[in-house]
Structure 1
Amino acid sequence: MILHLDIENFGPSVRLDVLLAAPWMTDELARSLRIAHRHTGQCLVHGTSWSTRLGSALLAPVDQVVDRQAGNFWTRWSDGWHVAVENAEEGDHVRQAVTEALALLGLRLSERKSGLLAPDAVTEGVAADVAGPVGQVWRLAALGNDVRRYRYALARAAPDPGISAALPALVRRHPVLLPRAAHYLDGAAATPEGAGAFTGLLRWAYAEEGGQEHPDRHAPFRYGRLLALGARHPALARLVPASVLDRWCATPLTPLRELAERVAVTGLGPDAVADPLPRVRAWVRRGASAGDSPPQTATYL
């Protein structure tokens, strides 16, 4: 039998004090986490590579507990474990051990998602949904408005006019798809449809703020994905409005400010930012090439 254990609402449930108390925490990382938490109310953000790494480090003690209980007969994907057990009694024993380990981190298991599965159930569900050629998966996703199929297709699709044209409306319906949309647009940036989708996503990001002077707590993550594309592709950088650049060039979030400064320089020239941050200043001195240490758009796929 397979015991599936999934944490309840993992990302938003991770407390700042728990992360700061981790033995691997550094002063620089703690400062960045405090700033992110102050502006967003969260420590970990779904779909970001840095959150994935922090989450894995935080859950390492729980992995050790599972390993002591199950030997090598287990695996974890994100915040969910699959453990091979002989029977329900062994499953209850492992579940109790994991429950106690999570409680030390201020976390708990999801009653709805955790339980015993038949061995063949592991390859059903999401794995079955995404089987097939990318084009077919995309068409099935559109027919059923299926987020899981959209995730699969956007991670693998080559630039396609139809997909590009659909992106702004798709992300508006399902904001969780923005990281995958950014991944796709990184490959479609040189196409007219890709540029149009990028502009549409910028309009969506602004509309989500409601035109307020102070952006909402999700705005840094929306613009972080989009500005990374602008920093990687000069043609997209020139499409970013001055109002967006002005706002994020003044943010206290250093990584986001660096992105905005790189986009400004890439789109407008080396004198676009009067007093850039040190890493951006060094990049400008090296020639300000978009291909010089570009920001990443990848997320865990």
Structure 2
Amino acid sequence: MTIRFDGRVAIVTGAGNGLGRVHALELAKLGAKVIVNDFGGSRDGKGNSSDAALAVVEEIRKAGGQAIANGANVADFEQVTAMVEQAKAGFGRIDILINNAGILRDKTFAKMEMADFRAVVDVHLMGSAYCTKAVWETMREQNYGRVLMTTSAAGLFGNFGQANYGAAKMAVVGLMNMLAIEGKKNDIRINTLAPMAATRMTEDILPEAILKATGPGQVTPGALFLVSENAPNKVVLGASGGVFSAIRLVETEPVYISSEDLSADAVQAQFERITDWSTSVHRDDANQQVHAFVTTMQGAPA
């Protein structure tokens, strides 16, 4: 089935540049009406301008699409709520939200100011939570919604000098895990994109050879699939340069240590068994882990 977005209304945050811009352009090309949100700040979140969002809207309109520019700061819930009202007033509904807006304030943790830690978390995590909360009731009433979070390998696997960014990017995966369960009965599907692309966010971080080989246009098809009608639910999709992967947490088989033997020394002695990744499995929710632990306890010798 060909993926189209005719009749759908999409909000894309951070859509003035980079990945967000291409997400917005491609959604419009496939029939969606798009709210192009961009605060217009620099890469570290300072300053603001509506020029970038307006330019993308103009690009969409020239191509025959429909779009509205919005300059809300995603870290401000009142502004985000007003953005959603603007979208509903202009287009009548909201079907898709792509949480793409982000800033960087990289430093080693030893040198990082807590204000810079908070600023990055506010945009990436709280911005995603605010925008999703603002559209949630509308999507519940429609019994339809597609929400895309944006994570990063820095959060999933770690990266030097990005404690604030990595913490926020891992947190949005946790947010997805919860909302994918809560939204299921109203056909609200939540997924997460883990992109690597040549943008102003990565221009001085990634090696030049990788920057030349990657671009937002090679990532966006993954995003479009994750917000389509037949999207999966609760998936983390890695994407770069036309290469895609699926990423998820797994847990090893639980190991029981009896009350008589339980000590730090016992955990150390069993650590090789505990970390035997050949036994690992995926959990669909927290209850499955609880069940595995209780079953292991109950099956232990008396």
TM-score interval for Structure 1 and Structure 2 normalised by the shorter chain:
under 0.3
The TM-score normalised by the length of structure 2 is 0.28
The TM-score normalised by the length of structure 1 is 0.28
Structure with bigger RCO (C-alpha 8 Å, 6+ apart): 1
**By percentage of residues, which structure has more helix?**
1
